[in-house]
Each structure stands twice: as structure tokens, then as C-alpha cells.
Structure 1
Amino acid sequence: MTDEILEKRNNKLKSLIIEHDSPAPKEIPQEEFRLKRVGRPLRPIKYIPVKSLIFYSKNTPPQFSYENKIKTPIGRNRLVVQVRNVGLNPVDLKIMNSYTKNMNTETGIGREYSGIISEVGESLRGEWHEGDEVYGTFFHPNLGYGAAQSSILVNPSTDVLIRKPSNLSFSSAAGTLFCLGAAFNILDKLESKGHLTESTNILINGGTTSLGIFTIQLLKYHYRIPKKLVILCSEYGATLLKSHFPDLCDELIFVNYVTNARQIYKPLQDMINNREVISYDAETGQPISSPYDQGKFDVILDYVGGYQLISHTDSLLAKYGAYTTTVGDYRANYKQDIYNSWDNPSANARKMFGKLLWTFDYSHFYFDPNAKYASKNDWVNKCAELVENEVIKCIVDKVFDWKEHEEALSFLRTGHAHGKVILNVEKF
């Protein structure tokens, strides 16, 4: 067969052979195959962009930063809250004053807020849901975090977080929890020591501060203290309190600290010794006398600071009474005061040897609104219930757009805010 094919003697095979004039195709050269190292393709990292109000030191004005980002997916035990409003407090100014030099590190502003949950970690999806309206505290003074951001990453195990009731506005919610929580814990501690009873006579220095306003409401609406509260404030502050709480007009005694600034203890001593309260008519300026029979004070709550009251406790404070201050012997100065500063020697001596050297209970109160401390007296849920049931309300003095932060901080720095100072945070 092979010979027939080669010699083409087989007619049948011959008919199947096709002659081609074109040459056969050339062999395609093959390159030697080698493995080569190539760059790994970039994987896109998803994140939530954040606009933050930050500062670098007290000598540089606050500014907006876009450096912070929240990576997604978030942790199993984390929540992302889109911030609507932020409440400003004196502690914000004290933290700012603590940074005397630029450390090239961003430090946030704001320790309480309100907003809407936008992301929920896997382990929290049974308790929290996207779209929940919330308010809470974001207290990390030593880590540089602040609530004045378009979005914040919240850990419910350390950050206090509460659902916002529908009858509470976002602006009011943002200014509620920090000062209300402080006031509640101050009074709860006094009650546990037996200082709050039906016969307790109470003086409040700084009654129109946010802390003072919440304290007045708690004493009258929650603890139901029957005796009249003596309030040290300005004439304008007294008018403001009467307008917000007309039902308490006959339950409060006002002493004008402006006209007695250098001897604020004097009208109090006269009131106790003479058994009468001297006030003045706003229009005529004529003195108005009314009886006073409550005697010395069992509790003095000092939210302004200074040495005038503490130096006259013999004539003002009843034996075995309680003196609680949030400022100390130095009068509050928000342009200079720093966070966690030491008290003066006399205040430290009272804290250490008060029970041995004095006949009253002295306390310098510091508030840490961390969730891990809330379980001791359940103050978070108790305060939330008071707010939701409209027993307690937040008085908002002024609301600023967060672009007006310098004006807002300047107003807070004057110490003349009668209620909360709130920032509106834009959606980003």
C-alpha cells in the first residue's frame, strides 16, 4: 500500500489526492514559558467618610477635618450613629485648655449627642436597628475622640446609648444626658448618705447652669423635697427659671449674686439670722420682705466654685450637713481651667481629713458617664424614664450651626449660658 501511494498507481487513491501550489505554512516559533511575579491588584476598602470638628491646641482655632474614616464592615459589637446634634459642656473647654502645645494630633469636641443609627454590628442586630433614633454620651477625654462628627463609631458596652422618645427633639436630646446624669448621681450619692429627706434645706449656687436647672427639677419633681430651694443666680436667671417652671415660683427663693458678688455669704447669713428674705421689685426697686424659717442649710450644692461659701460654713451649713462642689475652691474660669486639675491644698485637706477636722461631709464631685459605671445605680435607665415621661426637660439656651463653632464656644466660655448650648451637625 505504501508503494502504491508513493508511486500513485492506485487510481482510487489518486482521485483523492489534491495538488497544492502554495508552500506549507511555516512553523510558529514558541517562546520558552516562564513564571513571572506581578503586582497584586488593589482591593477596594469600603469606608464611611467622616467630617469632624477638631482642634490641635488651645492656641489654634478649631477646624474641620476629613481624615477620619469608619471602615466597613464594622465590628460585631459596634454601631455607627449619624450625628444630628451635639451638646457642648464646660468640660469641652477644660479639655481644650489642657492642650497648650500643638502635638500634631487631632482632638475632637463634644461629649454628648443625638442622631440616627446607620450601621449595626452583627452581634447587636437583635437589640438595635438601622434607623433607630438615639442619644447618648461619647466621653473619651484622654483619647481625643469627640462627638462633633458627621458619624461616630459607638461601643454600647462603654458608651451610654438610649433610644430617643418621639416627644424629645434631637436638639434637646443632645443636651440632656451629660448634665442630667451628673445631677442624678450627685443627689443619689447624697440620698445614700442620708442627706436627702423631707426636712432637708438646700442651697444651690449656680441655679441657672445646666447642672443647676436639672438639679432643681430632680429635687422638686423626683425627690419631692418639700422645703423651698434657695437659689443663687442673677436677676435675669431668676426670671428665666420662673418662665420655664411657673409651677415652682413659690417653691424657690432667689438670692441675687450679682449685687452681692464680693460677699455672697452676707445675704444668706442675714436671711438665716433675721428670719426673712429681702428681694427687690423689678420695676420700682423697692425692697420686698418675706418670712424665712428654714434655718441653716443641710446641703450646699456649689456649681460655680470659689471660697466664699466654704469659708463661712459655720454660719451657713448645719452640723453634719453636706457640701458638694463640682468646681472646687477656685471660681470657675473657662478660659483657663483644665481637665482633671488638682484642687488647692485646703480642698485636698478637706477631702482627706474632713471627717476628723470638720463636722460636715465635703465632696468634690467628678462625673464619668461611662456605661460600666451606670450599673451601680442604673442612672441611665432612670434618667431616660424621667425624660420620656416629661418629668424632666432640657432647657436649651442657644443652637448654633456647627460652622459657627467659634461663636458657640465663645458664648459657652463667658459662663453666661442659661441652659444648654447645642450644635447642629450637617449630613455628610
Structure 2
Amino acid sequence: MNQQTTIHHSLAGLRTTLRRLAHRASLPVEVRYRLALSASRVAAAELAAGRPVQLEVVPQPLDGGRLTVRLHLPHARRQPPLDGLPLPAERWPGTAAVWRLPAPALGSAGPDAPAPGGPAGNDRKAPVLSELLEEELSAAVRQADALAEDHQRLKHELAETNSGVLALYVQLEERDEQLRQAHGRMLRQLEDALRPPPVRVPGLEMAVHYEPAEKDAPTGGDLYDWFVLPDGTVHITVVDALGHGLTSTRSALNVTHAVRTLALEGHPLESIVARTDEVLATFDHELMATVQLARLDPAGGGLVLANGSHPPALLVRGDGSTRLLEVRGRGIGFPLPGSERLLRDRLEPGDLLVLYTDGLTESRRDPREGELRLAAAASRHRHRPIEEIPGAIADEMHTVILHPDDTVALTVRRVDQA
């Protein structure tokens, strides 16, 4: 094959020449039709405008058997776009595209081989164009078949992968459910440890309802404690520590433990709020909590209250009348903490005492309106079994929640011991 330069005025002629040259150089069929398609795209605009293009083919048999194909657009006003061609091309000075292709037939020529374009080359019969096209079509069909097989294989692999992923999701879901159950058991055990069961003493019925502001953090800062003192009276502590979650739980526990210790040591009830602040201030400088303390005599019904910034207790008489038992005072971590006085009253048989945290009455952001609703709800539910009353009150109070907060509702009812 000698260097050849041809002028073309049509795409059909350009393609035919390229196909025959590529065939003579034994280029792979796929390279051949990609070359013809790429050259057609480069020259299409010029030929459509009636301007001829020049094709130059330079064989280089002694340089690894390479074939250089240059397509010149002598009349083009700008360089042709070469991006995205089926067979990438190099830019050439001026308005030309160049393809450098390995040509096996050229590379087979050794020192003793006939010169390209000599008798041996001329004896090679020029292929019929239809044969070349049929060969290219067959190659394209084979490639399409191979792609189809690859696509089918990938679909099969994807189906297997999806099946494996689905099985993994099922396993993960099962594992998540196991973790949720374990988490629930742990939280219930933690709640049991933090929230002591009602004290059982003759003459009093006691029950409590706790509801966290966040369902996934059921150990908030609202805690309670109740126990029997050596003289037989029942002590009750209700605490609302600032914040939510485990940090506020720790603060509330510190308060309940300090109050219990001071009460069992015999400190007067009116001093316990202030003494608790003194005890805790040395190691918990951020602690702020409201607290209410109650002492109940199961035999005679005597009631004594001390308060530190906490919502007032509610007393519901047996006839349904209600009264808020308000005691002024400042809570733990507040300036001048302590209960300003003690409030004394008496529970008659059938009377109900309701102690609570502000999450019960401030769900609609209006504490006074909440206190009125609480009085009405407690009066309506006072005849229920004691274990149902706190939950029934909370359900009625929380029909609308604009301000979610941890909630404790604790009820004590005096009963006739006869």
C-alpha cells in the first residue's frame, strides 16, 4: 500500500474509500466501521455545503505497522469538532483530523518483503463494497449479541445481589427488632430502679403515672420518691430537674437521694429544701430543680407540705370540691433556696391528694388554665380505683399538647381502716 491522496465530494465515496483502505491494511472490522463513521461525522458539514474534503493515507510498515489517516477540510472556516467520535482522532494544524491505527498487514512486511504497493499488494483483489458492509453488519450483530449476553449476565448478577441485599435487610430488621426489645427491657429495668413502687401502709392508697416528653428518652428529670419514716409517717418527694434525658435524670436522682438521707437523719421538714441545696451545691454547680415534699400520717390523716418553686399540690375532698395547696419557696439552685413555711392540712377518708410536675398542667402553655382543668379532671376521676386515677387524669390533661414535657402525676387517697 502506497501513500494515497484522494479528493471526495460525497459521504458515500469517502466511506467506500476508507473501507477498502482499511480492508487492505487488515484493520479489524470494528475499527474499520468506526473509522468510516468518525470520518463521515467530521466531513459531513463540509460535504453537505458542497465543499470537497481531502483524504490522505500514509502507511508506515517499518514503524510497527501503522496506518496514518488524515482528513483535511481545506475550505472549512474553523476546526471540525472531534469530541465524541466513535474512533477518537487527533487534531492537526489547520482544519484536519488524524487517526493513527495499528495495521497488521503493514507490520508483517520485513526487509525482504515486497514494497507496499508492489506486485504482491496489487494482486490482492479489491473487495466488493457489499461484502465489506455485510462483514461490518455481521460484526455489529456479534457485538450486539455480546452486549445482550453481558446485559443478561449483569441482570442475573444484579438479581442475585438484590436477593442478597434483601436477605441482609431482613437480617438487619430482625437484628434491629432484637435490639429494640433489648433496649425496651433495659429501659423498663432502669425505670423500675429509678421509680420505686407505691408504699403499702394501712390507711393510704397510692399510685403514680410517669410520661416522658421524648419516647426514646424515658429517663427525664421528673422523679419521685416515697418511703416510710421511723415514726410511721409517709414521706413523698416530687422533683423536676431542669432539662431532659440522662443529664437531668442524674440531677433529679441527686435531689431525691439527698432528701431521703436528710429525712431519715431526722432533719426538720421545713429545712430540707435549703439543706439539700447546700449538700448538692458543692459538686453540681449547674443543678436547678423544683421540689415538693409531703408528709402524711396514715392513721390520723395529717398532711404537711414544704415547697421549692414547685407547682401547688391539689386536694380533692370526698364530695368533689377541690383546693390548691400553695406554699411559697425557692427550688434547688435558685437564689435563697428553701420553703418559706410549712402548710398543714388533713385528709379525711375518701380525700385525694394529687402531686405532679408542670408537664401535667402546662401542656397548653397556660399553667393557671391547666390547674383549673386538673381540678376538674381529678374531681371527675376521684372514685376510680387508685391505680387508674393518675393515668386517667394525664390522658384527659394531654388531649392537646402544645408544650411537651416530662410528666409525673402521683395520687394518694386516704381510706377508712375500719
Give 1 or 2: higher helix fraction: 2
TM over 0.5: no
Structure showing greater relative contact order (alpha-carbon pairs closer than 8 Å, 6 or more residues apart): 1
TM-score by length of 2: 0.21
- TM norm structure 1: 0.20
Please identify the structure whose Cα radius of gyration is greater: 2
